Structure 1
Amino acid sequence: HLEGVLDEDTAAEGLHTFGRSALGTEYVYLHLSLPGRELRDISILSGYIHLQKMELSSNKINDLSCISHMPYLVELNASKNELTTYFNFKAPKNLKEVDFSHNQIPKMKDLSAYHSLTKLLLDFNEIEEIRGLEECHSLTQLGLSHNRLAAVRGLQNLPIRILNLSFNQIEKVDGLKSLKTLQRVDLSNNKINSLQGLEEHDLLEVINLEDNQVAELSELKWIEDLPLLRVLNLLKNPLQEKGDYRLLAIFMLLQVTELDLKKVSVEEKVAAVNEEDPPPEVVAAEDHRIQTLNNVRQPQRVLASTLPGFDEPYPMLVLLGPVAGGRRQLSLKICRQFKNFFRFGPCHTTRTAYFGEENRFDYYFISQEEFDKMVNTGKFLVTYKYSGHSYGLGRDTVESIAREGLATCVHLEIEGVRSLKKTHFKPRYVLLVPKDKWKYGEHLRRTGLFSRPEIEEAVSRVDMYLQINQDCPGYFSAVIYTDELDEAFTELTRLVKVYLGL
């Protein structure tokens, strides 16, 4: 008995699973299992032609040519041996699963004869390039971790579902683009800095990118639209050092249920949305909280708007609607028409004046620094942002009008209205919108004051205003169409007379 040479007695110890041969003509042993036997030479197995499964891991084998005589072999495990080549045998027609991991294979070869192959494991070898798989049209699992790959190539249009390329030298993943059936991919411990190539994988559920060089949160844009993505690992990447990394990542990938080996809770998702893109009501509530807190810290005084009594709310008229849709003209005309009742209260804003606008008459035009200082000293009732600029309705604006015994008329965007509705004031809110959106867009273009994106934004807000009116009956006291300003003014005058009991 030569050391490392397989003989019949040892082979017999490994045989199991007695059953019909592939042709069904006789009963034979179908499986052979001989792991960890220090075997070097298994040439005797050339006579075991009926084997369908062979487990030969943890030996010292470097020659598998005996498999040429096993036409019915389906599964082969030759991991942890001393192979320097692979598939150097005649292809068994139905060979499906092969494990050649933990060997010394330096090169992949043409596997076009092995078209039944579904699983190929080549982890822990010395492979520098993926090749020879072009005809493996059944391959669904490929393992090439712990090799010397520098690039992802040679995988075009394969039906791979599970792919392990961890512990290589890979820098880019664009070679994965055509793998449309990919479900799980392990790319950990490489040198990847961009996720481009992972987009449009609609079946991808799990991505492991631990220990790479992804530095920018913006890289997540490549995977944010993957509908089935549930598990993502980005531990040990530079982007982890960004402040708010986890919340931002959760916000961009709301479909993910596990991030960096930690479950994503419902609370985290809510916090992420409230932080990054809060619902309008959350923004309004937060604004009200800030203005109230900052005001409470200041010396308090009796407010003219609370006199003569609490039973009658201070009369206020708020005109709201999309930009340049008639709010300004109608507020000023109403205040002229009813000058014994109303005074116009200009808001503060950080935007520059449009042509024809006057400081302290249309708005108080101030710097962002001055605006922030007013916020911090509790000077505003409400503030809001629109089109990149800050707007605020000053407490003193309302109080100085109330001291004259007059009601306040202001115009706001919906963002300001939401916040104002949180205060103790009970204004009448009149929505002013155009019916003809095309004509409104043309009007905005003709003014020459707005960029194309600003015009698109303004026109889209017409639908938003009407949607709020439809979804929340009573949210606005009245709706007036402003396509013809004279008609709109007549209707508004009638409304104000009813409001004032005239």
Structure 2
Amino acid sequence: SDIDRLSEFRLVRDLNLRGNKITEIDDYRLSIIFKLQHLTVLDRRKIDAAEKIESKQMFNPSSEYFASRDHMTNVVFSFLQDHRVQESTLPNIETPYPMLILSGPDGCGRIELAHRLVEEFSEFFGYGILHTAREKRPNEKDRTDYVFIKQEQYEEDVTKGEFLCCYEYYGDWNGLQRSSIENVAREGLACVIQIELEGLLSIKQSHFEPRCVLLLPMDQQIHKRRLQLQGYEEGEIAMALNRVELYAEYNRTHPGFFDAFILT
């Protein structure tokens, strides 16, 4: 569009489109501010910081924005339920419930590592299983790797306040239910969870203080082969490969977010 071509003129700071039909479009002003981020004045009105933030949240919201939104949804529905003392509530508030989160792109080995930790250190760890509304892959086991449920059941569980965190991953909804943590805590064990970055960001919004480990594949071809063996389709493989850089970039731009880093 003509507006997109204007983005090439980086020295333009003042733009006046008053009288142009484009101003009749919904959210016109925020759209222009987002597309032409070098502008300081639009239609003879100064662009303030609040408008810049609002335009970014509308047209290119961050992962943190979605995590905050989904966390607030779960908190609201949780408050509507009856409450009792949770198994994960420790007597000393200065000692948070122990939780280890493994995060990384599909095929990085996070679920395998989670199961291995639980198997080899069964006196310390229990597996905090995720619920998902997607279809089960051939190599996956229901109620061992994930709890597979229908979308309708997922939405019902959200309104019942069952979830600590929810996140959408390429059209499929996933999440960690509070009961998954409580079942592990009841055994006196620390909870190990494997989850995508979107889910991790949501958990970080909660009262839990997890230790977080980032897993990243070392070799793209080996990573691709792993995904093929696990039954991923070509489109899913492409998405997983692309997300390697997303995780690496997040780690670079958020130093200290992850407590450890493992190449797989």
**Inter-CA distance 249–364: structure 2 relative to 1 (3 Å threshold):** farther
1:427 aligned onto 2:210: yes
Which string of whole-angstrom CA distances, capped at 9 and with x for unpartnered residues, describes residues 470-492 of structure 1?
4444322222221xxxxxxxxxx
Q: Structure 2 residue aligned with 1:272, among 42, 50, 55?
A: 55
Q: Structure 1 residue aligned with 2:256, among 474, 484, 495?
A: 474
In structure 2, the gaps of 5 or more residues are none
Q: Structure 2 residue aligned with 1:347, among 121, 130, 138?
A: 130
Q: Once the 2 structures are TM-superposed, how far is the Cα of residue 226 of structure 1 from its aligned partner? A: 4.6
1:460 aligned onto 2:242: yes
Which AA in structure 2 matches 1:455? I
Which string of whole-angstrom CA distances, capped at 9 and with x for unpartnered residues, describes residues 133-158 of structure 1?
xxxxxxxxxxxxxxxxxxxxxxxxxx
Q: Once the 2 structures are TM-superposed, how far is the Cα of residue 400 of structure 1 from its aligned partner? A: 2.2
| 1:372 aligned residue | 155
User: What's the secondary structure of 1:306's corresponding residue?
Assistant: coil
User: What's the secondary structure of 2:88's corresponding residue?
Assistant: helix
1:301 aligned onto 2:88: no
User: What's the secondary structure of 2:261's corresponding residue?
Assistant: strand
> 1: distance between equivalents of 2:149 and 2:7?
39
Which AA in structure 2 matches 1:399? E
> 2: distance between equivalents of 1:472 and 1:269?
22
**Inter-CA distance 401–447: structure 2 relative to 1 (3 Å threshold):** closer
> 1: distance between equivalents of 2:180 and 2:229?
32
User: Of the two, which has the highest radius of gyration?
Assistant: 1
Q: Once the 2 structures are TM-superposed, how far is the Cα of residue 422 of structure 1 from its aligned partner? A: 2.2
Q: Once the 2 structures are TM-superposed, how far is the Cα of residue 303 of structure 1 from its aligned partner? A: 0.6
State percent identity of aligned pairs.
Answer: 37
Q: Structure 2 residue aligned with 1:291, among 71, 74, 79?
A: 74
| 1:402 aligned residue | 185
Q: Structure 1 residue aligned with 2:21, among 237, 245, 248?
A: 237
Q: Write out aligned runs for 1:480-495 (5 A).
A: 480-482=262-264
Please report the TM-score for the alignment, with normalisation by the length of structure 2.
0.84
> 2: distance between equivalents of 1:222 and 1:471?
30
Please report the TM-score for the alignment, with normalisation by the length of structure 1.
0.47
Which AA in structure 1 matches 2:214? L
1:248 aligned onto 2:58: no
Q: Once the 2 structures are TM-superposed, how far is the Cα of residue 351 of structure 1 from its aligned partner? A: 2.0
In structure 1, the gaps of 5 or more residues are 1-194, 199-219, 483-502
| 1:436 aligned residue | 219
- Contact 2:137 2:231 (8 Å CA) reproduced: no
**How big is the alpha-carbon RMSD for the aligned residues of Structure 1 and Structure 2?**
2.8
> 2: distance between equivalents of 1:439 and 1:343?
29
**Inter-CA distance 374–474: structure 2 relative to 1 (3 Å threshold):** same
Q: Once the 2 structures are TM-superposed, how far is the Cα of residue 321 of structure 1 from its aligned partner? A: 1.0
1:338 aligned onto 2:121: yes
Q: Write out aligned runs for 1:72-471 (5 A).
A: 195=1, 198=2, 220-221=3-4, 223-229=6-12, 230-233=14-17, 235=19, 237=21, 240-242=24-26, 244-260=27-43, 262-445=45-228, 447-452=230-235, 454-471=236-253
| Greater RCO, 1 or 2 (C-alpha within 8 Å, sep 6+) | 2
Q: Once the 2 structures are TM-superposed, how far is the Cα of residue 296 of structure 1 from its aligned partner? A: 1.9
Q: Once the 2 structures are TM-superposed, how far is the Cα of residue 271 of structure 1 from its aligned partner? A: 0.6
